[in-house]
């Protein structure tokens, strides 16, 4: 099997600012996490979803999709711990993975073009970290080559993989993203719905 990236979709958060399981928030009659997962599956790469808070409900809405699941029992320790759990699963289940592409379940407006650009950059420059930038903010999705797996598996806390990006700043390339809006609040969800109603996606 030729080496290829594996996509890691983070869906373990509690949704405290949202007021509940935002992974299950309805977007055009579909739970947000399922909508994002289906889009990622179109990239024709292995997909692993990290669940944690609300794990039973989140896993239930993904049950019929061709993806792997990694349940992070220590999700309350922050996104960093969820990343660590997911990368452990990727390293074990996909020993030939060239990289991990970390995506968030609460970014339903992210375009396929942005994701394809990240993957193409990895094909061209496979040793580089690739992160997305929107309005001067560097945010997920971000791709990390296999040489970063040990650092990712050591993460904990709320900052996600930011520390890995900062530690390897000289090896980071940025891809412009059309939108990296995270659905953190009910207002964010309404903005997503209005954007989709206006432009489609």
pLDDT digits (tens, 9 = 90+) for 31-61: 989 999 999 999 999 999 999 989 999 999 9
Once rounded to an integer, what is the mean pLDDT over residues 93-104? 95
User: What pLDDT sits at residue 179?
Assistant: 62
Per-residue pLDDT band for 180 (boundaries 50, 70, 90) equals low
User: What pLDDT sits at residue 158?
Assistant: 80
Residues 6+ apart with CB under 8 A from 162: none
Which domains, from first to last, does the chain contain? 5-199 (3.90.550.10)
Whether residue 75 is preceded by a cis peptide bond, meaning omega within 30 degrees of 0, is: no
User: What pLDDT sits at residue 1?
Assistant: 40
What whole-number distance in Å separates Cα of residue 63 and Cα of residue 10? 16
């Amino acid at each position: 099997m030729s080496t290829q990236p594996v996509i890691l979709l983070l869906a373990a958060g509690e949704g405290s600012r949202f007021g509940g399981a935002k992974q299950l928030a309805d977007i055009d009659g579909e739970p947000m996490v399922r909508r994002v997962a289906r889009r990622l599956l179109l990239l024709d790469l292995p997909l692993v979803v990290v669940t944690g808070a609300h794990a039973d409900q989140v896993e239930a809405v993904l049950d019929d999709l061709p993806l792997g699941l990694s349940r992070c029992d220590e999700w309350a320790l922050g996104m960093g711990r969820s990343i660590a759990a997911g990368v452990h699963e990727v390293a074990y289940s996909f020993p030939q993975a060239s990289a991990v592409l970390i995506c968030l379940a609460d970014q339903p407006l992210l375009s396929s073009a942005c994701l394809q650009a990240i993957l193409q950059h990895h094909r061209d420059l496979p040793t580089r970290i690739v992160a997305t930038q929107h309005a001067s903010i560097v945010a997920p999705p971000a791709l990390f080559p296999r040489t970063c797996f040990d650092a990712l598996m050591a993460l904990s806390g709320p900052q996600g993989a930011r520390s890995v990006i900062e530690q390897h700043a000289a090896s980071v390339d940025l891809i412009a993203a059309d939108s990296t809006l995270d659905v953190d609040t009910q207002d964010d969800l309404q903005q997503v719905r209005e954007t989709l109603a206006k432009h489609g996606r």
